[in-house]
Amino acid sequence: MTKTFKSKLANCAGGIVASVIAMTAFGAAPAWAKPLKIESENIVFFGDVDPVLAKERVQKWETYRKMIYALSGVSNPPADTQKLTIYGFRDTRELQKFTGNRGIAGVYTNGVDGPIFLTSVNNSYMEDGFSEQVGFHEYTHHVLHSFVREGFPRWYDEGFANYLATMSITDDTVAVGDPSVGHVKSVVKYRLDWLDPETVLKAIAFYPNYKRREMRKGGPTVFYAQAWLYVHYMRSQPKYNSKLTEYLKLIDTPGIDPLDAFEQAFAVSVEDFHKEAANYFRNDDFVVNQYIPGPEIMTSDMKVAAMSEEDLKAAQIPARLAFLNDKTARNFLKDLNKAYKKDPSNPRITMGFVSYDIHQESYEDAVARSEAALAASPSDPYLMHAAAGARFASVSGPHFEALEDEEYKPLPMNDDMKVALNRYEQLLQRDPTDLFAVRQVTTFYGNSDMPATDAALDAARMIDQRYMDGFEPFNGMNLAVIYAKSGYELYACDYYQKSTESVKDFKDRQLGNFKARLDWFKTNYGQNCEFDDGEG
């Protein structure tokens, strides 16, 4: 059951009729002549797809972005410094072939130029909606972090993203608060119990450190659902929603306990608030707000241009790099060769060839190709990425390949690695959010005996606050080592414990190497780390 309320956002009036979507019959020749590029204020779209569908998709994401700001109380939102790039495909089969992943209709990730979303543009995709929900969720983080940075605690950040991700846009109306969230469905389907509310509400800078009994209850799945529930209930209750700003100020107060901040700001005990929210969930009486935003939110200026097939292949390189694997490498090389024939001096294409060389473990070729290109254009960021990546891989690749099944050794700091790290630090000076650079910097300092630099700590924090959506054990151990070297023992031990608990999903040599890495950490940095037995 849902309650719906119609309202008009401040300074917005009127609306537009949604575009009629003309679909091409499966197997029929497309009605468009060439691939296209569509660019709006905050989004760039590339694809060999129906222009009507492509424009509809760009408008939907622009509207979604504007609604995030409107619902967050931000007037005159700034243009994104990193535009969202959407790559459109005619159907799911084409998308799955491109990524090498079956069973997906859309996927959101971060590329060398910023956030990217790969999507199948067809009716079945739109009716399913889950893949777009995931994309909206991740894009919400990108938008929120662009103007609040560390302003939202982790639990609210995740809950708000899930709350917004089921937004539906029809004609001149936007509906927000639909309870069809994937994590919530899992809680209902598998009859999972709620986590201790303190576990959720203490997740401020980091994800929860789950006790063993909480992992048995569903751990991260329940955390996402419970965070959504708390945010949804808060936004349905003016007495709580009006106090959010006060709460955000309090949790930024040095030394304050996050649970004390919650109870002081909202004038309710953590236990009583959880009971209220649980009853709200049990009654299945969710508030779904309907807005009529007006043309300022519902319409966007767009530039549409035709492109050649070769230009499309070049534009797709950031997406190709995000999904470069054994299944996709051959097609990637074919696309690179096509693009190269038309534009041999394109830095993106050079970066693509270097990345392919690295994937093939042709490290000498990768270094020679990238250094020659960088010498001709020393300030080009694509070529700096390529050259840094080649040097880094020439050290890390052979090093890790030479390890025995149950062996771990830290990475060496030789001349090639010094050059690579220097270039990554230059890239981070240009853009501290550069995912490729922060990943490589944290990988080195999380796998070496070298003291953590300021750049390494900044990179670890960037991974933690912006890119660690969920838990990935290799990243977790990188952060554990860097935090330990930097004197943040509590955070280091938390990530060490999470990583230790994750090894049950590993197999064979991967398991042996990772256990050896855990032992290396315990010996060198984690002597004081103690596990909660999780039974209390």
CA-to-CA distance for 491 and 486, rounded, in angstroms? Answer: 10
Would you say how long the chain is, in residues? Answer: 536
CA-based nearest residue to 15, from 136, 170, 177: 170
Q: How many Å apart are CA 503 and CA 519, to the nearest integer? A: 13
Q: What is the pLDDT of residue 4?
A: 47
Neighbours of 414 (CB within 10 A): 12
Listed range (9-23, 162-176, 219-233) with the worst mean pLDDT: 9-23
Return the minimum-mean-pLDDT range out of 78-82, 203-207, 347-351: 78-82
Structure tokens at 193: 């119990």
pTM metric for this prediction: 0.81
The answer to whether residue 248 scores a pLDDT higher than 60 is yes
299 and 330 in contact (C-beta within 8 Å)?
Answer: no
Q: Give pLDDT, residue 506.
A: 63
Q: How far is CA 91 from CA 110, 181, 292, 321, 393, in A?
A: 22, 24, 32, 21, 35
Residue 32 is predicted with a pLDDT of 61
Cα-based angle 460, 328, 462 (whole degrees, multiple of 5): 10
pLDDT band for 490, please (50, 70, 90 cuts).
confident
Q: Which of 411, 396, 398, 497 is nearest to 446 (CA)?
A: 411
Closest CA to 112 of 345, 471, 340, 439: 439
Per-residue pLDDT, 13:
29
Residue 16 has pLDDT above 50, yes or no: no
Q: What is the DSSP letter of 361?
A: T
Nearest of 77, 534, 31 to residue 296 by alpha carbon: 77
Is residue 6 pLDDT above 70, yes or no? Answer: no
- As beta bridge partners, residue 87 has 46, 118
Q: Taking 80 as the threshold, does the pLDDT of residue 493 lie above it?
A: yes
Contact 57, 121 (CB under 8 A): yes
For 382-396, how does the pLDDT look when each residue is reduced to its tens digit (9 = 90+)? Answer: 999 999 999 999 999
> What string of H, E and C letters represents the secondary structure of 59-82?
HHHHHHHHHHHHHCCCCCCCCCCC
- 381-401 vs 363-376: helix axis angle to the nearest 10? 160
Say how far apart CA 85 and CA 88 lie, in whole Å: 10
Both tokens of residue 428? 């981070």
Residue 84 belongs to what H/E stretch?
A: strand 84-89
Q: Which residue has the higher pLDDT, 350 or 166?
A: 350
Check residue 511 and give its pLDDT. 75
328 versus 506: the higher-pLDDT residue is 328
Encode pLDDT of 152-199 as tens digits: 888 998 899 999 998 988 888 999 998 887 788 888 887 888 999 999
pLDDT of res. 114: 85
Neighbour count for residue 352 (Cβ, 10 Å): 27
Categorise residue 286: left if φ over 0, alpha if ψ from -120 to 50, beta otherwise: beta
pLDDT tens-digit profile of 257-290?
A: 999 999 999 999 999 999 999 999 999 889 999 9
C-alpha torsion sign, points 400, 405, 410, 412:
negative
Arithmetic mean of pLDDT over the chain = 85
pLDDT band at 102 (very low <50, low <70, confident <90, very high): confident
